[in-house]
């Protein structure tokens, strides 16, 4: 198994290199160089030369590529924001906390709802209950997150006034005692987490339900039933274990979806996260931030893909021994 | 073919999908006949009016008729989604076919590229590119297409792999047919089912991404409308100005659900075992 894990770790290296190169190409194949926005005809030739040198655009593209690769790979340096001159990594990491909190709870919510509903409907396949839950989930898969968020804000924040619809805390957060602070944070998180989590829960539900129905019809379940093993043991111990395996592989789909979804949800709920930093950067034409954001998001996904594959190797003997599986 | 409406009625997903898409399509097709209003002409004296006899779905902040904007915005949303899907399907089909048929190192490199592109969170890259260029409808279509072909390529590759060693391919090769002829005339018709299913599902995905971008103000630019940008107009008080936020949202929801249902239904027809 160790051999397999090492091979998987090594195979991530070319993937990372290609991805980082693609990010560079996207910026440099686009017409005009971003840094030219600092140049204008009224500057003296000398000033222009200094600016060119400062942004490294007086060098040829391959040289620039070499620098970019070296900085990213060996110094984890993505350059500096055009907007405030801060290091891109610092800007994005300081925006990471809201994104992480939001994505984490949305994932937990989605797993809980998706898995439990998936199991329950699989045992009652083709009943009226199954059909109703299925239709509801179909709608949630197709619901644009920003619309769901808007409707939540309209209903629960503006009409009913039950839950706050923006920011991570209230203005008077510092004056609350620790229980009050916790309650305040939880209240602020409910609507964004639901907005991000419900469509994801619906997607997971679809996979779990299919996996469970397949598992419940397979021979080993039939054999377990013939031996008189209880229904609940069959359900929770035998079928669930096998239908959870695909969910681990789904991490590769879930993580990009969470990151993209967080962009929209952070904008709708005014959360100061990575996604909102990206959108702000688009409007400010702050290319270093955009480039760093896209590259870091890519590295995150590659990392989780690797974790998923290794987890699969640990959990699934067929893949571990290289004798089939996915 | 089994995708014709008469056979589809027996399949619940497919018939409700066709119904939903048919309704939205009729709305987009016949909309302009129903209203004399133009979707870009402003009239500040009727800013943010609730639905009335002269403006069936009310007016937006600039007094533009929301019904007309929903019709023209929907046409743009559909156009972008369908055009981007067609381009993505072409790219994905060609790359998937050749990668699988050639095999060897070409296949290895191409599939690694597919893995890499799939690992980019779509919205992040699209933000990066839209941030670079002035956003036009053409740019939007190409960007969405260039980051959507990978799944199609992957599906086609695995389908071709399973067809590659069948007798009919071997006999075609024995007859001396060239690779393109074998791929496009013999292999492609046999794997049309999965291609259609994933294209239909791709339309849904692209509609969601496009309306998300337009909602952020980065997709379709004013004075043109898209369902996403109309929703953005209603974001201050979503239920107060419900005629801006509810109909556009329901139209996106109906369209996306419709295409998803058709995709699921077709999958059940083509391949009952693999259906989700």
- What CATH number is associated with residue B268? 1.10.3720.10
Q: Is residue A122 part of a domain?
A: yes
To test the contact with chain A by mutation, choose from B114, B120, B251 the residue with the greatest count of A C-beta atoms within 10 A, namely B120
Q: Would you state the pLDDT for residue B75?
A: 92
Structural domain includes residue B15: no
Three-state SS annotation for A300-315: HHHHHHHHHHHHHHHH
Does A174 reside within a domain? yes
**Interface size between A and B, measured as CB pairs under 8 A:** 151
Bridge-partner residues for B59, per DSSP? B65
Structural domain for A183, as ranges: 88-285
Q: Verify cis geometry, omega within 30 degrees of 0, for the bond prior to B48.
A: no
Structural domain count, chain A: 1
pLDDT band at A41 (very low <50, low <70, confident <90, very high): confident
- Residue A94 sits in a domain whose CATH number is 1.10.3720.10
Range B147-173 average pLDDT = 85
More confident site: B130 or B193: B193
Mutate which of A154, A281, A301 to test chain B, going by most B C-beta atoms within 10 A?
A154
> How much is the pLDDT for A104?
92
- For B198-220, what is the mean pLDDT? 89
Nearest CB partner across the interface for B231, out of A146, A291, A293 = A146
pLDDT of residue B86: 96
* Residue at A239 is within a domain: yes
Determine how many CB atoms are found less than 10 A away from the CB of residue A117.
21
Q: B271 in a domain, yes or no?
A: yes
Q: Are the Cβ atoms of A30 and B218 closer than 8 angstroms?
A: no
B74 — alpha (psi -120 to 50), left (phi > 0) or beta? alpha
Tell me the pTM.
Answer: 0.86
User: Tell me, what's the pLDDT at A224?
Assistant: 83
pLDDT at residue number B4? 56
pLDDT at A319: 64
Predicted pLDDT of residue B8: 57
Instruction: Determine the Cα–Cα distance for residues A120 and A135; give it in Å rounded to an integer.
Output: 15
On the question of pLDDT at A37 being above 80, the answer is: no
**Using the beta-carbon criterion (under 8 Å), do A18 and B253 form an inter-chain contact?**
no
Tell me chain A's radius of gyration from C-alpha atoms.
Answer: 24
Q: Is the model's pLDDT at A291 over the cut of 50?
A: yes
Q: Do B130 and A282 touch (CB under 8 A)?
A: yes
pLDDT greater than 90 at residue B189? no
Domain membership of residue B157 (yes or no) is yes
Boundaries of domain holding B238: 63-275
Contact check, Cβ <8 Å, A150/B245: yes
Residue with the bigger pLDDT between B39 and A109: it is A109
Query: What pLDDT band is residue B6 in, cutting at 50, 70 and 90?
Result: low
- Whether the predicted pLDDT of A181 surpasses 60: yes
Please give the backbone phi and psi of residue A177, each rounded to the nearest 5 degrees, phi first: -75, 175
- Tell whether A58 is covered by a domain: no
Q: Does B211 touch chain A (CB under 8 A)?
A: yes
Name, of A184-188, A195-199, B97-101, the range with top average pLDDT.
A195-199
At residue B193 the predicted structure's pLDDT band, cuts being 50, 70 and 90, is: confident
B135 touches chain A (CB under 8 A): no
pLDDT at A54: 73
pLDDT digits (tens, 9 = 90+) for B28-72: 888 788 777 777 777 777 777 777 777 777 777 777 888 888 898
Q: Do A19 and B119 touch (CB under 8 A)?
A: yes
Looking at the structure of chain B, the number of domains it has is 1
Whether residue A199 is contained in a domain is answered as: yes
Could you give the 3-state DSSP secondary structure of residue B59?
A: strand
A288, A79 in Cβ contact below 8 A? yes
Q: Structure tokens of B75?
A: 């046409």
Task: Evaluate whether residue A302 is within a structural domain.
Answer: no
Q: How confident is the model at residue B276 (pLDDT cuts 50, 70, 90)?
A: very low
Structure confidence at residue B20 as a pLDDT band (50, 70, 90): very high
pLDDT score of B173: 82
Task: Assign A320 a pLDDT band (cuts: 50, 70, 90).
Answer: low
Tens of pLDDT, residues A293-319: 888 888 888 888 888 888 888 777 766
Burial of A190 from C-beta contacts in 10 A (0-12 / 13-18 / 19+):
middle
pLDDT at B125 over 90: no
Would you state the structure tokens that stand for residue A178, as one six-digit string? 């620790």
**Segments in B103-226 forming alpha helices (H):** 104-118, 122-132, 137-146, 150-164, 167-174, 179-181, 188-190, 192-216
Q: Are the Cβ atoms of B112 and A146 closer than 8 angstroms?
A: no
Distance CA B157, CA A164 (A): 48
- Residue B112 in any domain: the answer is yes
Alpha-carbon separation of residue B259 from A2, A6, A132, A142, B18 (angstroms): 44, 42, 19, 9, 8
Q: Any idea how long chain A is?
A: 326
Residue B99 lies in a domain: yes
Residues 6+ apart with CB under 8 A from A107: A197, A200, A254, A258
Does A326 score more than 50 pLDDT? Answer: no
Of B118, B238, B240, the CB nearest to A151: B238
Report chain B residues whose CB lies below 8 A from the CB of A278. Answer: 124, 127
Alpha helical stretches, state H, chain A: 2-29, 45-55, 61-70, 88-94, 96-123, 128-142, 145-152, 178-216, 219-226, 231-233, 240-268, 274-283, 287-315, 317-320
The mean per-residue pLDDT over the stretch B199-212 comes to: 92
pLDDT tens digit sequence for A203-262: 889 888 888 887 778 788 888 888 888 877 877 777 777 767 777 777 777 888 888 888
Question: In this predicted structure, what is the pLDDT of residue A259?
Answer: 86
CB-based contact B237 A281, cutoff 8 Å:
no
Nearest to A262 by CA among A112, A155, A132, A110: A110
With respect to residue B4, please indicate whether it lies within any of the assigned structural domains.
no
Q: Is the pLDDT of residue A73 over 50?
A: yes
Contact flag B253-A139 (C-beta cutoff 8 Å): yes
> So what's the pLDDT on residue B192?
86
Which of the residue ranges A224-238, A258-272, B9-23 would you say has the lowest mean pLDDT? A224-238
> ipTM more than 0.90?
no
Res. B112: pLDDT tops 50: yes
Percent of chain A with pLDDT over 70: 93
Q: Is residue A179 part of a domain?
A: yes
Q: Is residue B181 part of a domain?
A: yes
CA angle A14/A15/A17 to nearest 5° reads 60
- C-alpha span between A15 and A24 (Å, rounded): 14
**The two structure tokens encoding residue B236:** 């201050």
Residue A247 maps to a domain: yes
B271 interface with A at CB cutoff 8 Å? no
């Amino acid at each position: 198994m160790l051999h397999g894990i090492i091979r998987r770790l090594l195979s991530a290296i070319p993937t990372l290199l290609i991805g980082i190169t693609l990010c560079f190409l996207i910026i440099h194949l686009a017409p005009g160089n971003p840094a030219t926005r600092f140049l204008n005809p009224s500057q003296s030739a000398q000033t222009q030369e200094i600016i060119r040198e400062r942004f490294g655009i007086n060098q040829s593209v391959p040289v620039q590529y070499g620098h970019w690769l070296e900085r990213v790979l060996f110094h984890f340096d993505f350059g500096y924001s055009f907007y405030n001159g801060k290091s891109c990594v610092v800007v994005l990491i300081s925006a990471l906390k809201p994104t992480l909190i939001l994505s984490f709870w949305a994932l937990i919510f989605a797993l809980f709802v998706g898995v439990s509903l998936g199991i329950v409907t699989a045992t009652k396949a083709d009943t009226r209950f199954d059909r109703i839950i299925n239709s509801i989930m179909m709608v949630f898969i197709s619901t644009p997150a920003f619309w769901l968020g808007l409707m939540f804000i309209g209903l629960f924040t503006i009409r009913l006034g039950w839950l706050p619809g923006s920011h991570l805390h209230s203005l008077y957060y510092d004056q609350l005692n620790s229980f009050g602070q916790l309650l305040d944070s939880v209240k602020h998180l409910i609507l964004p987490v639901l907005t991000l989590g419900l469509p994801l829960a619906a997607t997971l539900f679809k996979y779990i339900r299919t996996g469970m129905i397949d598992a419940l019809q397979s021979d080993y379940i039939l054999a377990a039933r013939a031996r008189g093993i209880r229904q609940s043991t069959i359900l929770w111990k035998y079928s669930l274990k096998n239908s959870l395996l695909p969910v681990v592989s789904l991490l590769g789909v879930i993580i990009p979806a969470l990151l993209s979804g967080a962009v929209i949800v952070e904008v709708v709920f005014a959360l100061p996260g990575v996604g909102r930093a990206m959108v702000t950067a688009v409007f400010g034409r702050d290319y270093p931030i955009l480039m760093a954001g896209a590259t870091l998001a890519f590295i995150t996904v590659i990392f989780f893909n690797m974790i998923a594959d290794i987890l699969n190797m640990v959990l699934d003997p067929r893949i571990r021994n290289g004798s089939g599986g996915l | 073919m089994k995708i014709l409406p008469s056979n589809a009625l027996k399949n619940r997903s497919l018939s409700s999908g066709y119904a939903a898409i048919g309704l939205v399509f009729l709305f987009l097709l016949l909309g302009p006949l129903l209203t004399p209003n133009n979707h870009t002409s402003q009239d500040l004296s009727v800013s943010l009016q609730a639905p009335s006899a002269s403006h069936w779905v009310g007016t937006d902040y600039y007094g533009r008729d929301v019904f007309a904007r929903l019709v023209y915005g929907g046409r743009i949303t559909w156009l972008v989604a369908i055009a981007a899907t067609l381009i993505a399907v072409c790219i994905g089909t060609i790359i998937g076919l050749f990668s699988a048929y050639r095999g060897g190192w070409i296949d290895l490199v191409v599939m690694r590229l597919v893995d890499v592109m799939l690992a980019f969170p779509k919205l992040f890259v699209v933000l990066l590119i839209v941030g670079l260029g002035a956003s036009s409808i053409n740019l939007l279509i190409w960007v969405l297409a260039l980051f959507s072909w990978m799944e199609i390529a992957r599906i086609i590759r695995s389908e071709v792999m399973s067809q590659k060693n069948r007798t009919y391919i071997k006999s075609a090769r024995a007859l001396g047919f060239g690779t393109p002829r074998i791929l496009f005339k013999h292999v492609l018709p046999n794997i049309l089912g999965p291609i259609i299913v994933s294209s239909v599902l791709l339309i849904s995905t692209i509609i969601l991404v496009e309306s998300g971008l337009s909602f952020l103000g980065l997709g379709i630019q004013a004075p043109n409308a898209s369902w996403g940008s109309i929703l953005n107009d209603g974001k201050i008080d979503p239920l107060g100005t419900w005629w801006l936020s509810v109909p556009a949202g329901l139209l996106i929801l109906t369209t996306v659900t419709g295409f998803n249902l058709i995709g699921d239904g077709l999958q059940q027809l083509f391949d009952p075992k693999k259906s989700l």
